């Protein structure tokens, strides 16, 4: 005789991480919406660290030849998304002190939320659709690398241009 047990953790495995994410995202969104100093000379640090992590992951578990092609596409998509997200960041320069400040827009925060939601859905539905989860993970890691790197590149180029304009206006 088979005994069927209810799986109460079925919905909990989705609800608990979602609740935690929403709480953390709420605190982060509030903090991101505040004006903060932007150190353009440090924008390269996070993408460099993430590049090392991404490289280590891809070296440890290299994708197939077709997987490398899909990772290249993911990198290009990530770069495009990163450029858009970088453009959504508000960057200002104080005309007197030339202090560069940044403020994340709510559109940028919502953009990040959508990307995380797509990633979560892809991981859940990927196994249900019998997709290669290792390749999917590689693609998402490379997509994030493109996003982080190009976002900071766009912010650097725009902040540098705004700083030069502020200096020229003061002179």
Question: CA 133 to CA 137: how far, in whole Å?
Answer: 6
Quick: pLDDT tens for 17-27: 778 877 877 77
Determine the pLDDT at residue 115: 65
32-36, 54-58, 64-68, 167-171: least confident range: 32-36
Say how far apart CA 120 and CA 57 lie, in whole Å: 19
Q: Give 82-134 pLDDT, tens digit per residue.
A: 999 899 888 999 888 889 999 876 666 666 666 667 666 666 665 565 667 77
Distance of CA 127 to the CA centre of its chain: 23
Residue 14 pLDDT greater than 70, yes or no: no
Q: What is the pLDDT of residues 151-168, one digit of tens each?
A: 999 999 999 999 999 888
């Amino acid at each position: 005789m088979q005994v069927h047990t209810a799986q109460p953790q079925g919905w909990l495995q989705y609800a608990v991480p979602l609740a935690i994410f929403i709480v953390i995202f709420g605190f982060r969104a509030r903090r991101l919406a505040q004006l903060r100093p932007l150190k353009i000379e440090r924008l390269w640090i996070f993408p460099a660290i993430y590049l090392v992590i991404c490289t280590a992951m891809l070296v440890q578990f290299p994708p197939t030849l077709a997987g490398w092609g899909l990772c290249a596409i993911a990198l290009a998509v990530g770069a495009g998304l990163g450029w858009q997200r970088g453009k959504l960041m508000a960057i200002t320069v104080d005309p007197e002190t030339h202090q560069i400040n940044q403020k994340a827009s709510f559109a940028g925060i919502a953009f990040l939320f959508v990307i995380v939601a797509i990633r979560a859905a892809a991981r859940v539905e990927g196994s249900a659709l019998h997709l290669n989860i290792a390749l999917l993970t590689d693609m998402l890691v490379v997509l994030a690398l493109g996003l982080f790197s190009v976002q900071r590149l766009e912010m650097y180029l725009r902040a540098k241009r705004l700083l030069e304009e502020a200096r020229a206006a003061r002179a």
